[in-house]
Structure 1
Amino acid sequence: MSQNPTLTFPEFPYERPDLAFQEKAFRAVLAELKTAAGLNDAIAAVEQIDVIRSGVDTASNISYVRHSIDTKDEFYKAEKEWFDEQLPATEAWRTDYYRALITSEHRAALQAHFGDQLFKTAELSINTFKPEIVEGLQTENKTYSKYMQMKGGAKIDLDGEDYNLSSITPVEQDNDRDRRKQASTAKWGWYAKNREEIEDVYDELVKIRTEMATKLGYENFTQLGYDRMNRTDYGPAEIAVFRNEVKKHIVPLAQELYKQQTARIGVDRLHFYDTAFQFPDGNPKPQGEMADTVDAARKLYDGLSKETGAFFRLLEDRQLMDLAAKDGKATGGYCIYINDYGAPYIFSNFNGTSHDVDVLTHEFGHAFQVYSSRFQKPMEYNWPTFDAAEIHSMSMEFFAYPGVPDFFGPDAEKYYYSHLAGAIRFLPYGCAVDEFQHLVYENPTWSPAERNAAWKKLEAEYLPHLDYSDMPHLNDGTFWQGQLHIFGMPFYYIDYCLAQICAFQFWLKDRKDHESAWADYARLCTAGGSKSFLGLVELANLENPFEPGVMEKITGVIKEQLRSLTVA
């Protein structure tokens, strides 16, 4: 963090990095690491390499955010395309750095100083790159950007009014069933219209990733995907056990909740346009306007801890949030870290639904974590691996429960119910997404029709309540085509499921002893990525989510809690 820590995000200067100059500087410091006479010289070289890498990441992330805010901005669109083209070459820097680390004559002392996780990451990451795959990485970036651009520019006509993929969501939750059906049909009509192009994009991504895996010596992309995620203490076998536990304990509870919803909203069967509509008088909605939601969040974080209150004000004062849905804005929500400014940035698309609160508290959890661990060295430790990172975000949604009355007023009880039930209902879907990706990358020559058939079969196992009889496009098994992570972040989605089981545990701990639960959470945030996923789980005094019995215990408490809530 070398830049002015008081600038607002719009004031952050942007300049395309001179990668040739940066590589020359990097190579010079790398030579110093290789020839370091003693430990202190080696540590200094590692820290200077961080400075160089951080500068490149800072420029890339500023560009990414500004492109996300307005995908029509030609300047930042061009910068995004430039980074897509150029950044893959910097993977060679990282690989050479990691190789120098693990072969250093000072390795034992460096490992004692920085911890084991850096070296576990280094050993794993070396397997994921060779210069021969640079072109593949470039093509992968460009192809995924094409999908993002399509979704960001989507225009959906409904009764003569234009919507995008974010702004149509509230209409899909309308109290009037016909209106819900019209909105959902219009949205999925856009996907149907673009189906061939979407399937072609994914087909190209599968082929690119499979080709890179082959060049790197992998049997297929699956293990490469795991290695790219830096999963050092579990693999596909453990994930398969986890998914089976979800099928055994979570799917039956989720189906019970869908049956209750069917009766509650007074329909004979849940059609695809009914699943998001949970209560006969409407879903819980935040009170007032977006500014009121932000005010409620400020009050919540002032009350949660001194640190969270100060941090929320920092986000506001430095304009490190962009929350409103706008035309041309990329879909979804995320938190990114602007390294040189020590500044997390929260991106979202508020649309007047309860999701606004979900995404704000979720991304605040990410932001609070990376801000808490911003002084961790090396920079690999600013963020943990994605699986652990989602513990912070999903647990923060539960820690935010004291703010629910201010967010939702008379709808508070409905929100408690829908959030807790929604977390259960999500798990089968998340596991279906994960198993789908395993099948796809184990069968990379599948046609689009074969992929759709595989998804449809998984829906029958994980989500048997779904009824697409009113929508031929979805009935073909195409629902997965709207899931951004499948295209851009392969094998990421199961991380939400792993983290959800950990977040449930934080919720249970918080109900018994808030001070102890918060202390465990804050310690987890400060640790950043200095340990592996299971190492961080242990640090936070959580049970291993892969262990049989953990889900069964959690679901019993959740059933009891849902029964205690008074909802229409």
Structure 2
Amino acid sequence: MDFNKVEYVRPNLAEFKDKVHKLSEQLKNATNGLVAQVAATELVALVNDVNSQEYVASIRYSIDTNDTFYKGESDFWDEYGPQFSDALTEYQKAVVASPFQDELAKIYPHTLIDMTKDELRVKDTNIIPLQQEDNRLISEYSDLIANAQVDFRNQTYTLAQLGPLMSDEDRDTRRDANAAYWGFFAQNEATFDRIYDDMVHVRTQMAHELGFKDYSEMSYVFMDRFDYDEAMVSTYRHEIETKVVPLVLAQRAKQAKRLGLDKLEYYDLGIQFKSGNAKPEGTPEELVETARQMYHEMSAETGPFFDHMVSSHLLDLLAKPGKMSGGYAEYIPSIESPFIFANFNGTSGDVDVLTHEAGHAFQTTMAKWIQPGETVFPTNDAAEIFSMSMEFIAYPWMQNFFKDQTAKYKYAHLQSALEFLPYGILVDHFQHEVYTHPDWTPAERKACWRELELRYNPDKDYSENPDLDRGIYWMRQGHIFEVPFYYLDYTIAQVVAYQFWKRFEVDHDKSAWPDYLAMAKAGGSQSLLELLQTGHLQSPFEPGALDDTLAAIKSALDAVDDSAL
């Protein structure tokens, strides 16, 4: 299989509707479980094919937003994607109402039935125009970011390409690079404000049309948060604020001392060591080959998986003009393979991609036995466990990437994961406030961001950048625009991933890999808390769930003579 040769064919909406209607009638009129199973199997194949075409088009467009053909296909899916989804409503209702649930369970994991019930709560033909408008706004944001051109010291950079300069060991360089980067957001602030303001109102109207109090309440349904609610999340936020933030501030004080600074300015936060952050050694091709060696040594399962990713051209890793920012892994049911998208820029983040996104890709490879493609991945909160845990599982091989900078990398990585928790909670809390106050002006939203930032990230001093001090930082966070309320899932997964770090790195638990593998194979057939039971892990919502892990992290960081790094 060669992804470059995978054919893309735009599905025909009318034919899709007709097939779904016939299968719906077949299921409704089924007189026994076998007939119900046949209808379910045919529907899975139909949906997998349509979803695969959408994913292929989306991947190719994200690689080159200047490609006019896939730009047209992106526009098509923005407009017609909600209609394909709406066409499934009749069948989904038939699935939920079918008396042959035991037989259907052989095709559909129980999680898919639960997800179907959730999806029916957030579907209505009347909101299709709103969904289309939301898609259009998301594409407008993505295009604005992807096509950003920033002039810096007589050269032109994309936002991703500026990344290494923003954490350069030379303080003047990183200060000026940060000013140039944030200058783009300040120059386009009115556009970002207008896009997000429109999004908030469109999404709020959706929520009201569907009978929800607000879009925040609706998010617990469309994010399939089966095992917890807003009250539990509020308690979880408090745990992060009171227990993690003080640890981060202590690490920041050590960082300032390492850098020989009285205090850290906002442009200093990304640089950990006076000699510069750890950087991987080798060309992108060499890094991929090093990753291949790592995965062959890691386990019997990971080696063949990564070989397939390389030989089938399922990796697109280099940053380039017109390419969307960020990184992701997508699973394509029709070829039973994942795809990894990234923007290498010469920093340690390149290695993080080869572990983080590969963690997602490996999990889907292990779970491809699940017939419905939409449940190969678990729900988002659980899916990120595999990516973040893989970053830690790969620690013994970091020497191959970083050579004599390995100690620097591990120290900074362990600290940055800790720093992420308050930031991730900040992003989630901000969105909760925005969508429970949908009539706020753009200025009020930015003021809210800055107020929350001072709670969760009090180490960020923007006295040298009035634009950031007004609260524009969130405009760079694509998830806020493109996948609202996803960031909470990252924090939950990070807390769980830290448990795997402790089991692998501190406890040397021989059952850690088998547990990780068992969870990967279960994939979306289990909910978050069910997966945690499979992996013998603690729920992050339990009182004191963070305590042992945080103590181990503090001990590990304190044991390092960071001044020598």
Q: TM-score, normalised by structure 2?
A: 0.98
Q: Can you list the C-alpha shifts for 1:7-30, whole angstroms capped at 9, x where unaligned?
A: 211100111111211221121112
1:381 Cα deviation from its structure 2 partner: 2.3
1:34 Cα deviation from its structure 2 partner: 1.2
* 2:343 match: secondary structure: strand
Q: Can you list the C-alpha shifts for 1:471-529, whole angstroms capped at 9, x where unaligned?
A: 11101011011100000111100100000011011111113245411100111011111
Structure 2: runs of 5 or more not aligned: none
* 1:346 match: secondary structure: strand
8 A Cα contact 1:413 1:566, kept in partner? no
* 2:39 match: secondary structure: helix
Pick which of 107-116 and 456-465 moved more.
107-116
1:113 Cα deviation from its structure 2 partner: 6.7
8 A Cα contact 1:46 1:378, kept in partner? no
| C-alpha distance in 2 between matches for 1:119 and 1:72 | 39
1:426 Cα deviation from its structure 2 partner: 0.5
Pick which of 278-287 and 12-21 moved more.
12-21
* 2:234 match: secondary structure: helix
- Equivalent residue number for residue 534 of structure 1: 529
2:144 matches 1:124: no
- Equivalent residue number for residue 79 of structure 1: 73
- Equivalent residue number for residue 330 of structure 2: 336
One-letter amino acid of the structure 2 residue matched with residue 332 of structure 1 = G
| 1:499-510 pair list within 5 angstroms | 499-510=493-504
Q: Can you list the C-alpha shifts for 1:138-171, whole angstroms capped at 9, x where unaligned?
A: 0000101000000000000001100011100001
Choose the corresponding residue for 1:444, options 430, 438, 445: 438
| C-alpha distance in 1 between matches for 2:376 and 2:190 | 40
| C-alpha distance in 2 between matches for 1:94 and 1:491 | 25
2:166 matches 1:172: yes
Q: Can you list the C-alpha shifts for 1:72-126, whole angstroms capped at 9, x where unaligned?
A: 1111011001001001012223332221111112135434774432222222221
- Equivalent residue number for residue 548 of structure 2: 553
| C-alpha distance in 1 between matches for 2:50 and 2:451 | 44
| C-alpha distance in 2 between matches for 1:28 and 1:268 | 71
2:392 matches 1:385: no
8 A Cα contact 2:48 2:372, kept in partner? no
* 1:475 match: secondary structure: helix
- Equivalent residue number for residue 4 of structure 1: none
* 2:268 match: secondary structure: coil
| 1:317-328 pair list within 5 angstroms | 317-328=311-322
2:297 matches 1:303: yes
Q: Can you list the C-alpha shifts for 1:288-320, whole angstroms capped at 9, x where unaligned?
A: 221221121111101111110111010000000
Pick which of 228-237 and 313-322 moved more.
228-237
Q: Can you list the C-alpha shifts for 1:216-259, whole angstroms capped at 9, x where unaligned?
A: 00011012112111111112111111111101110000111111
* 1:337 match: secondary structure: strand
- Equivalent residue number for residue 421 of structure 1: 415
| C-alpha distance in 2 between matches for 1:556 and 1:245 | 14
- Equivalent residue number for residue 477 of structure 1: 471
8 A Cα contact 1:325 1:348, kept in partner? yes
- Equivalent residue number for residue 3 of structure 1: none
2:345 matches 1:345: no
8 A Cα contact 2:40 2:107, kept in partner? no
Choose the corresponding residue for 1:12, options 6, 24, 43: 6
8 A Cα contact 1:300 1:402, kept in partner? no
One-letter amino acid of the structure 2 residue matched with residue 24 of structure 1 = D
One-letter amino acid of the structure 2 residue matched with residue 544 of structure 1 = S
* 2:524 match: secondary structure: coil
Choose the corresponding residue for 1:95, options 84, 89, 92: 89
* 1:344 match: secondary structure: strand
8 A Cα contact 1:348 1:360, kept in partner? no
Choose the corresponding residue for 2:44, options 20, 26, 50: 50
| C-alpha distance in 2 between matches for 1:394 and 1:43 | 36
| 1:430-441 pair list within 5 angstroms | 430-441=424-435
Pick which of 262-271 and 152-161 moved more.
262-271
- Equivalent residue number for residue 371 of structure 1: 365
8 A Cα contact 1:362 1:394, kept in partner? yes
Choose the corresponding residue for 1:188, options 182, 192, 203: 182
8 A Cα contact 1:117 1:530, kept in partner? yes
Pick which of 36-45 and 249-258 moved more.
36-45
| C-alpha distance in 1 between matches for 2:255 and 2:179 | 21
| 1:199-218 pair list within 5 angstroms | 199-218=193-212
Structure 1 residues 258, 362: closer, same or farther in 2, change over 3 A?
A: same
| C-alpha distance in 2 between matches for 1:112 and 1:346 | 30
* 1:529 match: secondary structure: helix
One-letter amino acid of the structure 1 residue matched with residue 202 of structure 2 = I
* 1:293 match: secondary structure: helix
Choose the corresponding residue for 1:27, options 21, 39, 49: 21
| C-alpha distance in 2 between matches for 1:278 and 1:208 | 41
Structure 1: runs of 5 or more not aligned: 1-6
- Equivalent residue number for residue 565 of structure 1: 560
Choose the corresponding residue for 2:218, options 212, 218, 224: 224
| C-alpha distance in 2 between matches for 1:315 and 1:192 | 39
Q: Can you list the C-alpha shifts for 1:323-377, whole angstroms capped at 9, x where unaligned?
A: 0111111100000111100110000000000011112210000001111111113
Structure 1 residues 116, 338: closer, same or farther in 2, change over 3 A?
A: closer
| C-alpha distance in 2 between matches for 1:425 and 1:406 | 26
- Equivalent residue number for residue 147 of structure 1: 141
Residue-pair matches, total? 562
CA RMSD, Structure 1 to Structure 2 (Å): 1.2
One-letter amino acid of the structure 2 residue matched with residue 543 of structure 1 = Q
- Equivalent residue number for residue 356 of structure 2: 362
One-letter amino acid of the structure 1 residue matched with residue 209 of structure 2 = K
Q: Can you list the C-alpha shifts for 1:157-211, whole angstroms capped at 9, x where unaligned?
A: 0011000111000011111101101100000000000000001000010000000
8 A Cα contact 2:145 2:159, kept in partner? yes
Pick which of 97-106 and 339-348 moved more.
97-106
Pick which of 383-392 and 84-93 moved more.
84-93
Q: TM-score, normalised by structure 1?
A: 0.97
- Equivalent residue number for residue 494 of structure 1: 488
1:402 Cα deviation from its structure 2 partner: 1.3
* 1:323 match: secondary structure: strand
